[in-house]
Amino acid sequence: MRPDGRSRAADAVQMALEAGAADAFATDSTSRDVEFSYRDGALEKVQDSTSRSIALELYVAGRYSAHRTTDLEPDRLRAFIREAVALTRALEPDEYRRITPPELFAERPDVDLDLVDPAVEALAREQRLAWSAALDEASHAHGRVLSATAMVFDGSFASSEAGSNGFAGSRRSTYCWFGSSVTLRDRGDRRAEDSCFVGGTHLADLPEAQGVGTTALERAVARLDAGKGPSGRMTMVVDARAASMLVGRLLGGAYAQAVQQGRSFWAPLVGTRAFSEKLDITDDPLIVRGLASRLYDAEGISAKVLPIVKAGVVENLYVDTYYGRKAGMAPTTGSASNVRVGTGTQSLAELLRDAGEGVYVTSWLGGNADSTTGDFSLGLRGHMIENGAVGRPVGEMNVTGNLKTLFSRLEAVGNDPYPYATILSPSLVFSGVDFSGA
């Protein structure tokens, strides 16, 4: 905030109005990002960067444009905005582009999300090096280790927003992540590799670095002597870490933009039971210390808990104001925050026991999913499930099918939501899944 109480974002909005814009929305943001990379006992890379910018959305005579600049000197900023307004006048009109109606940010939550940790902002080089060394040492505790890379990422973000529609807001957050990737010598010239990374907004919520390095090594060791699994239709148990990505693939078409452009299989599903009754998905921006928590979204729409799927019934989609107008849909929010997948009562071990035989997926290796049809094909790494327990490691396999069909075959959910992601999913069990392998 400026000494006179006005934000730089408010100044930018005023400059835009003086230049002839009908409406404007500005975001003044500052971020600092630090990265330490430590490879095989030595510090390999240090990067410390700070950035500052103003992003501006302009509404001029029925036309719209978006701009960003890092030159914040007042006279040059004023000239930049004046030119941006002039350029916007030359664009084609778009009747659906209008600034966010004030009623959408009238009921902003008044809660403390606790997203700033002073300990992160005060992190010293010595602490980052100590974490790196501990990760590195733990990751090398096996005779077949060829290399291991430990990494520490931390930083902070602050922004203030202002709009000619009366919007004003500000937010701050910190983050810290660390972990390591490990590569081991396998049979012949083959390599076995895996990783473990953890992160959050507060240091107190993170485990010990040495334990994280040990987990990375254990995961890589579990990949030794992996081979192709069989082809066929089997039960699939997806580890919570991998389930987060799978749920993200499912939600890829749950946006008004995709629906309006005919690129979403979600379009006819609202109000219908489209998935298994075991499936609950909720967008929750109000989780204290959540990785994607917020009081308002990029348009200024006030945050609220939004049920997406409840007992298999699709209740809401992500709808921004622009594509909402084009598609005739009421706005909810234009982007995801923390996504919570409903949990069950069983542990992963119990899910594997009940599955008996099948494939246990621990990570994905590329692939694609079509948001228009829901068809997907994903490479995987994992293990065979043998006699209700984790069996031999497998890779070089694909799982194929349709996302809508897959999630209609969701048989069970675990009690173990993965905490180090914006999609908080537990382990998931699917029946009748098609695999191609040996």
CB 128, CB 38: distance < 8 Å: no
The Cβ of residue 156 has, within 10 Å, a number of other Cβ atoms equal to: 21
CA dist 9 and 162 (Å) reads: 5
Q: Which residue has the higher pLDDT, 189 or 79?
A: 79
- Residue 2: pLDDT band with limits 50, 70, 90: low
Q: What is the mean pLDDT of residues 142-159?
A: 97
List of E strands, 266-344: 281-283, 306-310, 313-314, 339-341
Nearest to 116 by CA among 50, 43, 49, 200: 200
pLDDT tens digits for 73-115? 999 999 999 999 999 999 999 999 999 999 999 899 999 999 9
pLDDT tens digits for 260-301? 999 999 999 999 999 999 999 999 999 999 999 999 999 999
List the beta bridge partners of residue 434: 233, 400
pLDDT tens digits for 310-354? 999 999 999 999 999 999 999 999 999 999 999 999 999 999 999
- Residue 438: pLDDT band with limits 50, 70, 90: confident
CB 340, CB 282: distance < 8 Å: yes
The number of CA neighbours under 13 Å toward the Cβ of 430 is 28
What pLDDT is recorded for position 189? 87
Identify residue 184 by its one-letter amino acid code: L
CA dist 223 and 120 (Å) reads: 34
Continuous segment of H or E residues that includes residue 272: none
The SS3 assignment for 130 reads helix
Cβ within 8 Å of residue 112, ≥6 positions away: 288
Q: Is the pLDDT of residue 207 over 70?
A: yes
Tell the residue number behind the tokens 């008004």, with chain if given: 256
In the chain, % of residues over pLDDT 90: 96
- Residue 71: pLDDT band with limits 50, 70, 90: very high
The SS3 assignment for 310 reads strand
Tell me phi and psi for residue 20, to 5 degrees: 115, 5
Nearest to 267 by CA among 329, 218, 220: 329
End-to-end CA distance of the chain: 62
- Residue 6: pLDDT band with limits 50, 70, 90: low
Average pLDDT, rounded, for the chain: 96
What pLDDT is recorded for position 116? 98
**DSSP H helical segments within 42-176, as ranges?**
74-89, 118-121, 125-139
pLDDT tens digits for 381-424? 999 999 999 999 998 899 999 999 999 999 999 999 999 999 99
What pLDDT is recorded for position 366? 85
